[in-house]
């Protein structure tokens, strides 16, 4: 066992959160606000600024605003006037969803385009640094009747009253406790990069947030860092590349080749970009069970999705709020019921988004957007708690 400082202290109920990503930091913040003693275990030795943009739609901004981050994020966000959808060759606009000031009027919160590093950094300010244990990679989890034990790669262990696994798309907790990884490689890749707008020689893209729809591929281009940087991400057929990682490098020449023939505005962005990363896109079905008596999954760990609706991190943020509301309502003494309540509150929505995202037609044509963007995790009604069968034996 590790020393006492690594063991969440007794007194208030202790929760170990695995993963200091978007969902992990958010749920730790929410739980601390209702008096839960939280410790976060993160495998990375330090936080690094992943070169990516991230769209935070109104449903995500509801969460972030109430956590107190709206002003901070507003100073580094780009607020798009619209989400434009255009044909790859002619540039014809097939649908443009008004955003800007209209987002707040229509959905109750703004639509922010952010550098992922800015979002993550903002979330880290919500938790005291001494509750985040870096360089602690969980290798095994064991649930007993009255506690959960985590083993780490460095040979140490900790125990906690409960564990929230926010350990992302490759979740070890999902694999060890709930389901072997059934990821299906879509044979498509996301090239992505962030680069200074100044590299466009004073000719930045006309429309600040556009998805360019090709016959079998697309590219999404938008400003981040309050317009100082440009981000794009793609979906391109690729039978060979199977690495699902934020750090893997791609080949710019291959990328430009993949978009030869696209509209001149796209060509201009691809010509200006100096380097790219490459992420293999996998798809996974909704998971049957999200929790046991003392362990629960959150974010990509339980509902990983293709990135085609820009809702993965948004739904992780929603999970964090709803899970903490369920725990607050039922109390720590009824944890299995609280976990079940959270799963039944969240699964229909995340499964629907997983399925919609898989089909990749979001916003190509006019459609209902309210079911996604109107959702307010702080006020959405919670289901009636159901009794849960007695806990497991040691």
Ligand X SMILES: Cc1cc2nc3c(=O)[nH]c(=O)nc-3n(C[C@H](O)[C@H](O)[C@H](O)COP(=O)(O)OP(=O)(O)OC[C@H]3O[C@@H](n4cnc5c(N)ncnc54)[C@H](O)[C@@H]3O)c2cc1C
What is the DSSP code (8-state) at residue 37? Answer: E
Q: For residues 269 and 214, give the distance between their C-alpha atoms in angstroms, rounded to a whole number.
A: 16
Chain centroid, CA 109 distance in Å: 18
Catalytic pick from 41, 78, 107, 222?
222
- The strand pairing partners of 224, in sequence order, are 229
Q: Using the minimum distance from each CB to ligand X, give the nearer residue, 81 or 385.
A: 81
For residue 165, the minimal CB distance to ligand X (Å) is 9
CA proximity to 295, closest of 140, 154, 122, 180: 140
DSSP secondary structure string for all residues of 139-185: EEEEE-SS-EEEEETTS-EEEESEEEE---TT-HHIIIII-----EE
Phi-psi region of 206 (alpha: psi -120 to 50; beta: other; left: phi over 0): alpha
Residue placing its CB nearer to ligand X in the complex, 133 or 294: 133
For residues 287 and 285, give the distance between their C-alpha atoms in angstroms, rounded to a whole number.
6
Residue (59 or 330) nearer to ligand X, CB: 59
For the bound state, the minimum distance from the C-beta of residue 259 to ligand X, rounded and expressed in Å, comes to 16
Query: Which residue's CB comes closest to ligand X?
Result: 21
Nearer to ligand X, 301 or 322 (CB): 301
Smallest distance, Å, CB 225 to ligand X? 15
Under a CB-based contact definition with an 8 Å cutoff, are residues 323 and 296 in contact? yes
Task: Give CA–CA dist 80/83, Å, rounded.
Answer: 7
CB 236 to ligand X: min, Å: 12
Locus of tokens 């309540």? 341
Active site includes 375? Answer: no
State the residues that interact with ligand X by CB under 6 A.
Answer: 18-24, 41-44, 54-55, 137-138, 166-168, 172, 190, 192, 233, 279, 299-301, 307, 310-314, 316
Q: How far is the CB of 91 from ligand X (least distance, A)?
A: 23
Tallying the residues shown for the chain, one arrives at: 394
Comparing CB distances to ligand X, the nearer of 47 and 334 is: 47
Residues designated catalytic: 222
């Amino acid at each position: 066992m590790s020393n006492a400082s690594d063991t969440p202290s007794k007194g208030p109920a202790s929760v170990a959160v695995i993963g200091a990503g978007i969902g992990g930091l958010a749920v730790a913040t929410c739980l601390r606000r209702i008096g839960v003693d939280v410790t976060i275990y993160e495998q990375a030795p330090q936080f690094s600024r992943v070169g990516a943009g991230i769209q935070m739609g109104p449903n995500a901004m509801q969460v972030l605003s109430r956590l107190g981050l709206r002003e901070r994020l507003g100073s580094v966000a780009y607020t798009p006037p619209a989400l434009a959808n255009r044909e790859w060759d002619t540039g014809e606009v097939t649908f443009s969803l008004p955003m800007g000031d209209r987002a707040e009027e229509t959905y109750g919160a703004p639509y922010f385009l952010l550098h992922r590093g800015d979002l993550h950094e903002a979330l880290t300010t919500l938790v005291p640094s001494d509750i985040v244990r870096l360089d602690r990679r969980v290798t095994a989890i064991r649930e007993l009747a009255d506690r959960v034990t985590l083993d780490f790669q460095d040979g140490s262990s900790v125990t906690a009253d409960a564990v929230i696994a926010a350990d992302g798309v490759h979740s070890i907790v999902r694999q060890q406790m709930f389901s072997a990884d059934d990821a299906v490689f879509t044979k498509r890749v996301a090239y992505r990069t962030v680069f200074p707008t100044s590299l466009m020689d004073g000719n930045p893209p006309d429309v600040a947030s556009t998805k360019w729809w090709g016959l079998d591929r697309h590219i999404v281009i938008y400003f981040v860092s309050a317009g100082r940087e440009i981000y794009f991400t793609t979906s391109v057929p690729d039978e060979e590349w199977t690495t699902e990682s934020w750090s893997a490098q791609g080949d710019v020449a291959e990328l430009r080749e993949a978009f030869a023939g696209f509209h001149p505005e796209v060509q201009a962005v691809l010509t200006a970009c100096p380097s790219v990363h490459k992420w293999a896109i996998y798809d996974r079905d909704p998971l049957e069970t999200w929790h046991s008596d003392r362990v629960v999954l959150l974010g990509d760990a339980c509902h990983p999705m293709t990135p085609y609706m820009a809702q993965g991190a948004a739904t992780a943020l929603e999970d964090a709020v709803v899970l903490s509301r369920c725990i607050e309502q039922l109390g720590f003494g009824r944890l299995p019921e609280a976990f079940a309540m959270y799963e039944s509150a969240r699964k229909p929505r995340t499964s629907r988004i997983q399925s919609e995202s898989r089909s990749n037609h979001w916003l190509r044509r006019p459609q209902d957007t309210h079911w996604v963007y109107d959702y307010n995790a702080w006020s959405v009604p919670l289901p009636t708690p159901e009794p849960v069968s007695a806990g497991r034996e040691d």
